[in-house]
Amino acid sequence: MKANEMKKEENPVKNHSDEDLKSLLMTFIILWIITPTVVAMHTKISAPVAPGHTLKVGQFRNNCGIFSYFPKSYTGCTGPILEFKENGLLELFEIVEEENKVLWSIQGTCPEDDECELTIAEDGAILIGGVVPKAVKKKGKKEEIELSPWPFVETPPKRKKSRK
């Protein structure tokens, strides 16, 4: 009977060890699947806008990437956000005391029957709805607002004023 009792005592230990191994394996598989997705999402959100890139209404870029979803007290990241909003408005802002402080904005026009899209041309020009926007509004001093290397790979060219 002692041999049978010893076998019964060994089985729970072995099963517990097997369960730990299965849990560890499942955790590894889940992390192996999730990690590339999270890294790709972080890269897309934090990458500066470059020639050939497009943004649709509601899309944004933030140099903090996925860390922008966590409280700043944990991440320490306080970078600006570039967001393409409805009605062709592109804004660069930062969050100060839970309010958006606009640093720079461009108002473009979008065709009513088509989906609004922002495109960066090969020369770095910003096109909203396929047209170069007319108005650039800067808040604060010009020296304080850097547009390159982030949120744009290249500083967008200044629009030449047409003389009539």
Mention every residue, 6+ apart, whose C-beta is less than 8 A from residue 156.
Answer: 120, 124, 125, 126, 147
Tokens of 121: 């041309």
pLDDT of residue 101: 86
pLDDT digits (tens, 9 = 90+) for 116-155: 899 999 988 899 988 888 767 776 555 556 777 788 888 8
Tokens of 69: 């979803």
- Could you tell me the residue ranges of all domains in the chain? 54-144
The fold adopted by the segment(s) 54-144 is Agglutinin, subunit A (2.90.10)
How many Å apart are CA 84 and CA 50, to the nearest integer? 15
Tokens of 13: 């230990």
pLDDT of residue 13: 46
Distances (CA, A) of 96 to 91, 93, 116: 15, 9, 29
pLDDT digits (tens, 9 = 90+) for 54-105: 999 999 999 888 888 888 888 888 888 999 998 889 999 888 877 888 888 8
